[in-house]
Amino acid sequence: MKTYAHPVYPYTRPAELRGATRHWPVVVAGAGPVGLTAAIDLASRGIDVLLVDEDDTVSVGSRAICWSKRTLEILDRLGCAERLVQKGVGWSVGRVFFRDEQVYEFNLLPGEGHRRPAFINLQQYWVEQFLVERLSELAPAELRWRSKVVGVEHGADGVALRIRTPDGDYTLHADWLIAADGAHSSVRTMLGLECEGQVFHDRFLIADIVMSSGFPAERRFWFDPPFHRNQSALLHRQADDVWRIDLQLGWDADPEEEKKPERIVPRIRAMLGEDARFEIEWASVYTFQCRRMRSFRRGRVLFAGDAAHLVSPFGARGANSGIQDADNLAWKLDLVLAGRAPERLLDSYDAERAKAADDNIRHSTRSTDFITPKSEVSRSFRDAVLGLAKRYAFARALVNSGRLSLPATLSESPLNTPDAAGAFASGPVPGAAAIDAPVSGPRGDWLLGYLGGGFTLLCFGGGIPADAVRSLAGDGIACTVVHVGGKPATGVCPIDDSEGLAARRYDARQGTCYLVRPDQHVCARWRAFDLGAVRAALARATAQVATAAKAAA
């Protein structure tokens, strides 16, 4: 490749091959974006975590390229979003063309007053490299390259893993295994588990080319363009003057033939013009599937990312949802390992993220049906929508070239405490990710910088008594208090919302409190502080409620 030199990470002969044994609280299989995020999150919490990967470098090919605002916010919490943003290409405008005309244009900018943009584009290998470097800074973490999981033995209180290295095989013992080993998850296969769903009968050419071009950093999507009749096409800018081209080929295309440069170059020339100067960096032909495992938890094994669920690439819902899996899982595993929450808290990982996967699969399937109609009548309606969209606003809402990834709202989660009836007209509902806003205070200028890690009680207007603050900080499930405005008690982090944007976004009045989980999702909110209510919501958010009910019965 011209624009990127793949790092080769050193393999070290593991101590286990010399007879040493060590027990790990958590082993993560797979050093892709999801496994790396999970390992960084766990190591940031002080948990000894071992990450094993069969390879010794980052992803070959750009693969996932669109990283969502929510992903960047999660990586901000883990101290590594800034490098992605610096290296990546920010974009917010998308254009959709039908044949030779633009029919629709959208702008994803979430408005002023958010730290992170709607999306940045960055090749997956850069993201993995930055995450590997972040993980290497964290002492509790160890990364073992050229270490392939070849056996999994699954017990009631742990997992035994057989690891294959260039120097031979050895066995590892772990309390918990996170399987983030991708679409062809060998852990999943070895445990005999299925990933069920729909396979789409279509093929797509994906090509990364290097070119200096005056094209803006926009997402451009064509239905039935003159340069590629009856198929779809996508053009998207990445870092280092690399451009992603995605061309629908149809089910009958020969994947081996289509990968050859002599086939690819004419297709790209047709798209970009005969005098376009470019070089191919990477190309692949793919098919896709929408499917998921029935459960993301199997005893002591937790599945995350592509290992657990697969969607089409339209909508940037693959890697972004996998990173939300890691974000959802790490704090729960931390509390369970520390004995502060019951094991069934991890069932909520399955409940919450399986629901999110279903949303992604639904959106992805709908996009796919629009992009590649499966019948004559489906195609008539698709073309009717595109034809009408040029002239009539209503039809633009029906154009579906991929509904882009938004943070999952876990509104049906058992961990939520429902609102009192009519208490809130707007603001993030229980289950929604907290919303950013510009603030000022001791930890920076963005509200999300004050939320997450542990539980946080966000109080507008202050007024929490000092003994309540102390008591919340000292409970089994510790909760820190952040005050927006007002006069804070000792131990409270004060922040200033001089523009009033935070209060507006949270539909806040004097006394309004939001309880925010370690993954920055809201789990309860009230119009006035009540220590008992906060404690009950904390117990519920950590799955302790069912225990109490059982004990009472």
Residue whose CB is less far from another protein, 256 or 376: 376
Q: What is the DSSP letter of 9?
A: P
With CB under 8 A as the contact rule, the residue among 380, 411, 498, 547 that binds another protein is 380
Query: From CA 153, how far away is CA 144, in angstroms rounded?
Result: 20
Task: List the interface residues with another protein, window 342-361 (CB under 8 A).
Answer: none
Residue 504 φ/ψ, nearest 5 degrees: -65, -45
Q: How far is the CB of 384 from another protein (least distance, A)?
A: 4
Query: From CA 77, how far away is CA 71, in angstroms rounded?
Result: 10
Q: How far is the CB of 374 from another protein (least distance, A)?
A: 15
With CB under 8 A as the contact rule, the residue among 29, 307, 341, 385 that binds another protein is 385
Residue whose CB is less far from another protein, 387 or 486: 387
Q: Return the number of other C-beta atoms located less than 10 Å from residue 532's C-beta.
A: 7
With CB under 8 A as the contact rule, the residue among 20, 139, 156, 377 that binds another protein is 377
Find, among 7, 319, 24, the residue nearest to 178 by Cα: 24
* Half-sphere exposure (Cβ direction) of 15: Cα atoms closer than 13 Å: 5
Sign of CA dihedral 536, 538, 541, 545: negative
With CB under 8 A as the contact rule, the residue among 381, 429, 504, 533 that binds another protein is 381
Q: How far is the CB of 387 from another protein (least distance, A)?
A: 7
Binding mask 386-405 for another protein (x = CB under 8 A): -xx---x-xx--x-------
Residue whose CB is less far from another protein, 377 or 553: 377
Please tell me whether residue 376 binds another protein under the rule CB under 8 A.
yes
The window from 76-84, 101-109, 363-371, 375-383 that contacts another protein (CB under 8 A) reads: 375-383
Query: If binding means CB under 8 A, how many residues of this protein chain bind another protein?
Result: 13
Instruction: Name the packing angle between helices 345-371 and 319-337 (round to 10°).
Output: 180
Query: From CA 466, how far away is CA 215, in angstroms rounded?
Result: 57
Please tell me whether residue 230 binds another protein under the rule CB under 8 A.
no
Please tell me whether residue 229 binds another protein under the rule CB under 8 A.
no
Task: List the interface residues with another protein, window 273-332 (CB under 8 A).
Answer: none
Residue whose CB is less far from another protein, 387 or 511: 387
Residues contacting 70, CB < 8 A, separation 6+:
320, 324, 405, 406, 407, 433
Q: How far is the CB of 108 from another protein (least distance, A)?
A: 24
C-beta of residue 406 within 8 angstroms of C-beta of residue 70 = yes
Q: In what order do the strands lie in the sheet with 232-237?
A: 101-107, 93-98, 219-223, 232-237, 242-248, 204-210, 279-286
Tell me which residues touch another protein (CB under 8 A).
376-377, 380-381, 383-385, 387-388, 392, 394-395, 398
